[in-house]
Amino acid sequence: KQEQYKEIRDEPAVTLDGQEISLYVNAGLQVDLPHLEEAGAHGIGLFRTELQFMIASTLPSLREQIELYNAVLDAAGDKPAVFRTLDIGGDKMLPYMNLAALKEENPALGWRAIRISLDRPALLRHQLRALLTAAAGRSLRVMFPMVAEVAEYTRARALVDKELARLDKFGKPRPASIEIGTMLEVPSLAWQLDTLLPLVDFVSIGSNDLLQFLFASDRGNPRVATRYDLLSPAVLSFLRHIVAKCEAHNTPLTLCGEMSGRPLEAMALLGVGLRRVSMSPAAIGPVKMMLRSLDATKLGAFMEGLYGLPDRSVRAHLAAFAEEHGV
Ligand code: PEP
Ligand code: MG
């Protein structure tokens, strides 16, 4: 199998019916960067910036952040790289930040990610400064984690504008282009898309969080984490709603949660209309192999019959489709 994955590494990621699929890798540390080339991916769909903060013993300095972001942009070259701003809190604690002192009953629903960034804007501004500096003269793509309402996105984006004004004030070069987007990983945001989408350059679905909130089922608790099948009418209908809204607004949409790295799940994602997925580098080969043998139009039509199923048979139906069509 590994040999076969290598063989198709430089082949196009196109389905049998001619749909071009963008395959991106998730990354977070310098050591991840060579995987982009090795996997033959189209770019970095999710760069988890908090990892640098989590392995450090003190808050990374502006210079240390710039160095890492520079390395990411160098590794990406002409390919896109999407930086996600700090996603800390919840289960991602920084011992030196004194957040650990905060005991929360429900950390996943607590003071985390964009909520911390907006309440402690100096931290986010510092990070944005590093990103804008590293991307001078190049393309910068940034997104925010755990946005639950449009106003949070707007406030975070305003901090980017403030940092841009600061660059100008000091006569420092700007990035050649800037795209700002948001993760969609809190279900409430899915019901504000008509308001949100005109304000963003792209959206990326964080299915790990989105689906734990959708099912009210802790992704880190082994007793319930796998209780609900992601290949279910609820998930597929929800994703279809998001895809339709993004298509109507012409907003690029990616999914960067773990489910995109499993071939059958990835197949279902293409069936609901996603055309960009981001995953761990090792999953690129298997997913590419799958999609190159898939007729996505045929699958889309087949899946029309799955959204209303009253039982847990979606996975079996999808597996049968894959088997029957040699996917
Ligand atoms: C997600 O929630 O799906 C996601 C990609 O972010 P993380 O796994 O880092 O929470
Ligand atoms: Mg998440």
Q: Distance between CA atoms of 277 and 103, rounded to whole angstroms?
A: 35
**pLDDT exceeds 90 at position 50:** yes
Helix, strand or coil for residue 183?
strand
Ligand 1 within 6 A of 219 CB?
no
Helix, strand or coil for residue 143?
strand
Q: Taking Cα atoms as reference points, which of 324, 319, 322 lies closest to residue 229?
A: 319
Q: Which atom of ligand 1 sits closest to the CA of residue 208?
A: 3
pLDDT digits (tens, 9 = 90+) for 239-279: 999 999 999 999 999 999 999 999 999 999 999 999 999 99
Which ligand is in closest contact with the Cα of 258?
A: 1
Average pLDDT over the chain, rounded to whole? 96
Ligand 1 within 6 A of 50 CB?
no
**pLDDT exceeds 70 at position 310:** yes
Q: What's the mean pLDDT in 295-302?
A: 98
Residue 252 Cα, ligand 1 centroid: separation in angstroms? 18
Ligand 1 within 6 A of 206 CB?
yes
DSSP annotation of 98 reads: T
Q: What's the mean pLDDT in 128-144?
A: 98
**pLDDT exceeds 90 at position 325:** yes
Provide the token pair at 313.
């048979």
Ligand 1 within 6 A of 254 CB?
no
Q: Taking Cα atoms as reference points, which of 221, 209, 213, 219 lies closest to residue 182?
A: 209
Torsion-angle region of residue 40: left (phi > 0), alpha (psi -120 to 50) or beta? Answer: left
- Interface predicted TM-score (ipTM) over 0.90: yes
**What was the pLDDT predicted at 101?**
60
Percentage of residues of the chain with pLDDT beyond 90 = 92
**pLDDT exceeds 90 at position 103:** no
Residue 206 Cα, ligand 1 centroid: separation in angstroms? 5
pLDDT category of residue 237 using cuts at 50, 70 and 90? very high
**What was the pLDDT predicted at 26?**
98
Helix, strand or coil for residue 13?
coil
Helix, strand or coil for residue 325?
coil
Ligand 1 within 6 A of 30 CB?
no
Q: CB–CB of 130/65 below 8 Å?
A: yes
Residue 205 Cα, ligand 1 centroid: separation in angstroms? 9
Residue 172 Cα, ligand 2 centroid: separation in angstroms? 33
Helix, strand or coil for residue 313?
coil
Q: How many CB atoms lie within 10 A of CB 80?
A: 18
pLDDT digits (tens, 9 = 90+) for 161-210: 999 999 999 999 999 999 999 999 999 999 999 999 999 999 999 999 99
Helices (H) and strands (E) in the chain, counts: 15, 8
Residue closest via CA to ligand 1's atom 9 equals 48
Residue closest via CA to ligand 1's atom 8 equals 208
Which ligand is in closest contact with the Cα of 279?
A: 1
Q: CB–CB of 183/206 below 8 Å?
A: yes
Q: How many CB atoms lie within 10 A of CB 286?
A: 17
**What was the pLDDT predicted at 94?**
85
Residue 208 Cα, ligand 2 centroid: separation in angstroms? 6
Q: Which of 20-24, 103-107, 151-155 has the lowest mean pLDDT?
A: 103-107
**pLDDT exceeds 60 at position 121:** yes
Residues with Cβ–ion distance below 5 A, ligand 2: 185, 206, 209
Q: Distance between CA atoms of 113 and 41, rounded to whole angstroms?
A: 27
Torsion-angle region of residue 98: left (phi > 0), alpha (psi -120 to 50) or beta? Answer: left
Provide the token pair at 123.
């931290």
**pLDDT exceeds 80 at position 291:** yes
Residue 161 Cα, ligand 1 centroid: separation in angstroms? 26
Q: Distance between CA atoms of 171 and 164, rounded to whole angstroms?
A: 11
